[in-house]
């Protein structure tokens, strides 16, 4: 069975039993394959509703209909978008689905309202993926990136689809196949108990499609190929052949009838046939580590601009804007009691507890500003370490939307070796030849990094400063060779960075931890990491660990 035939079969089974099968994940960029699948989706005999990521909680959950409630002087609720007839919800760019958004979709699927979901996974990188809870509730997953236009054929659904829908609930699923589904899930490393259920529903739908009233081994095998491969995290090792006893006659043994493989082995072979080459390594790494990012940047809370979030109660002097509509919604349910206590009052009665403030979620790119000590005899090694760390971090920069900048300080000042960029090619070109040697103007390096952080923060980026040095400052900001003044200038800049609330990381490259550098990190309110024998991998790992904790 080809990839496109499996996709056609998944659409057909979903059309037969959308309520129990939950839905389908289509991983494909915009193109003929995605268009063909969406055309097939339009043929499903269900109302279609397109979900948008900017939908507010009021639209998803339902809320007070403010205008009607005020006009009729009674509480009138607005229906949720999911409070409708059984529908097929289409979610574009599902890899960017926020956790609270996907949680509401999962809640709608669990409510037994007959809904199903088509999730379009248009991720450009392997690190981008749908929320695990949503993927777990959708039976099928098809990847169409490798299909060409000539591989596509029209998708035709059975004409007697309504009769098949009526018969699917009466299809018998043998108990031994249920046990086999659970054992197979365990052997493939599938921990979710929902997977065997979805496998049974898919097998029943396939049996009903072919007019059978009981699930056969063929139905079960095809269901395994559709439901289990994208959930698998491992494959069981093939059993070693049993040793032949001494004196065994190989020709006679070859004449004996070959024993059929047990069903579990046959199903594992079916999964192997579906999985593309090299996918197990990706599955194992995905099971151990969370996705590196959703591809939408770092999320920050604000109260003036960004993506709207549900309003919250806050103090009057919080500086946030008042959400008038949300405040009215909070006050309306209490009007009957408040009118009874104060019958002479005209109009709605408000209290301080009704006040709601607007909140927004700002998604901004993160900027990692490497500030590297290029002075002294160890300058070349330190710059090489920073170069390697920058290249390692840029390998993950696309999914996390990180930018990287690099400053080197030596002599009497600092130099911008790399402006903010996400281009790995440009980074390698700029870092091909790195200068080194001279005195240590630590304060000058901090000034350059601080100014860049402030400037890029105004441009919407979220800066993080990473200082790689031995901490032995000996050049002041005015260029004089005064160690005491150089240390004081560095402390003054560290205080400014702390007051500006710029996240920072200080990496100590000396053989023994430097106390002055520990003090500087404390003033800067930065994480301090001692790496006396730092290399590119250790620096990159330290940066990634510190960013994950921040």
Q: What is the tens place of the pLDDT at every residue in 514-536?
A: 788 889 989 998 888 776 655 66
User: Is 0.85 topped by the overall pTM?
Assistant: no
pLDDT digits (tens, 9 = 90+) for 298-356: 455 554 455 566 666 765 555 567 778 788 888 888 888 888 888 888 878 888 888 88
Average pLDDT of span 129-154: 86
Percent of the chain's residues with pLDDT above 90: 23
Please indicate whether residue 300 or residue 502 has the higher confidence score (pLDDT): 502
CB 365 within 8 A of CB 293: no
Which DSSP helix (H) or strand (E) runs through 302? strand 298-302
Please indicate whether residue 437 or residue 191 has the higher confidence score (pLDDT): 191
Q: Is the pLDDT of residue 395 over 50?
A: yes
Q: Is the pLDDT of residue 139 over 50?
A: yes
Q: Is the pLDDT of residue 65 over 70?
A: yes
Listed residue (519, 515, 463, 523) closest to 498, CA to CA: 523
d(CA 18, CA 141): 14
Instruction: Give me the pLDDT at residue 88, please.
Output: 93
d(CA 303, CA 291): 28
Output the six-digit token pair for 143. 């990847």
d(CA 142, CA 4): 9
Instruction: Give me the pLDDT at residue 303, please.
Output: 47
CB 473 within 8 A of CB 494: no
Q: Is the pLDDT of residue 66 over 90?
A: no
d(CA 437, CA 412): 11
User: Average pLDDT, whole number, for the chain?
Assistant: 78
Instruction: Give me the pLDDT at residue 212, please.
Output: 94
Specify the pairing of strand 504-508 against strand 402-410: unpaired
């Amino acid at each position: 069975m080809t990839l496109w035939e499996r996709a056609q079969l998944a659409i057909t089974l979903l059309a037969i039993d959308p309520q129990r099968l939950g839905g389908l994940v289509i991983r494909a960029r915009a193109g003929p394959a995605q268009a063909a699948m969406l055309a097939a989706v339009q043929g499903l005999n269900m109302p279609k509703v397109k979900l948008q990521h900017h939908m507010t909680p009021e639209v998803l959950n339902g809320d007070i209909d403010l205008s009607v409630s005020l006009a009729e002087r009674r509480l009138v609720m607005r229906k949720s978008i999911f409070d409708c007839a059984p529908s097929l919800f289409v979610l574009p760019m599902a890899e960017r689905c926020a956790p609270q958004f996907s949680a509401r979709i999962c809640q709608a699927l669990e409510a037994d309202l007959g809904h199903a979901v088509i999730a379009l996974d248009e991720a450009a990188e392997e690190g981008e993926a749908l929320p695990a809870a949503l993927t777990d509730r959708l039976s099928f997953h098809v990847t169409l990136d490798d299909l060409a236009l000539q591989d596509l054929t029209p998708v035709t659904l059975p004409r007697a689809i309504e009769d098949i829908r009526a018969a699917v609930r009466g299809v018998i699923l043998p108990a031994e196949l249920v046990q086999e589904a659970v054992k197979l899930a365990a052997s493939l490393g599938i921990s979710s108990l929902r997977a065997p259920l979805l496998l049974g529903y898919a097998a029943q739908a396939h049996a009903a499609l072919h007019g059978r009233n009981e699930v056969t081994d063929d139905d079960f095998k095809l269901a395994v190929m559709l439901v289990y491969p994208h959930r698998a995290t491992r494959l069981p090792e093939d059993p070693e052949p049993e040793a032949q006893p001494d004196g065994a006659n190989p020709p006679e043994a070859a004449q004996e009838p070959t024993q059929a493989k047990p069903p579990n082995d046959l199903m594992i072979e079916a999964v192997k046939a579906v999985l593309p080459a090299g996918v197990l390594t990706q599955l194992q790494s995905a099971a151990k580590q969370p996705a590196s990012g959703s591809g939408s940047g770092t999320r920050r809370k604000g109260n003036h601009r960004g993506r709207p979030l549900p309003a919250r109660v806050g103090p009057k002097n919080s500086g946030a804007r008042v959400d008038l509509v949300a405040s009215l919604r909070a006050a309306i349910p209490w009007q009957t009691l408040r009118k009874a206590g104060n019958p002479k009052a005209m109009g709605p009665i408000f209290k301080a507890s009704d006040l709601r403030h607007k909140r927004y979620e700002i998604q901004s790119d993160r900027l990692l500003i490497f500030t590297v000590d290029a002075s002294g005899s160890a300058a070349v090694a330190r710059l090489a370490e920073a170069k390697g760390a920058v290249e390692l971090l840029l390998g993950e920069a696309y999914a996390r939307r990180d930018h990287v900048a690099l400053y080197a300080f030596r002599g009497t000042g600092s130099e911008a070796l790399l402006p903010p960029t996400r281009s790995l090619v440009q980074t390698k070109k700029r870092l091909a030849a790195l200068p080194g040697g001279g005195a240590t103007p630590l304060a000058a390096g901090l000034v350059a990094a601080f100014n860049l952080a402030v400037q890029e923060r105004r441009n919407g980026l979220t800066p993080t400063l990473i200082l790689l040095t031995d901490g032995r400052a000996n050049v002041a900001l005015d260029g004089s060779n005064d160690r005491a003044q150089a240390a004081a200038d560095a402390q003054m800049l560290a205080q400014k960075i702390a007051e500006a609330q710029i996240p920072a990381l200080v990496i100590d490259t000396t053989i023994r931890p430097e106390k002055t550098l520990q003090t500087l990190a404390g003033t800067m309110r930065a994480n301090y990491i001692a790496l006396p024998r730092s290399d590119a991998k250790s620096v990159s790992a330290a940066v990634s660990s510190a960013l994950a904790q921040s």
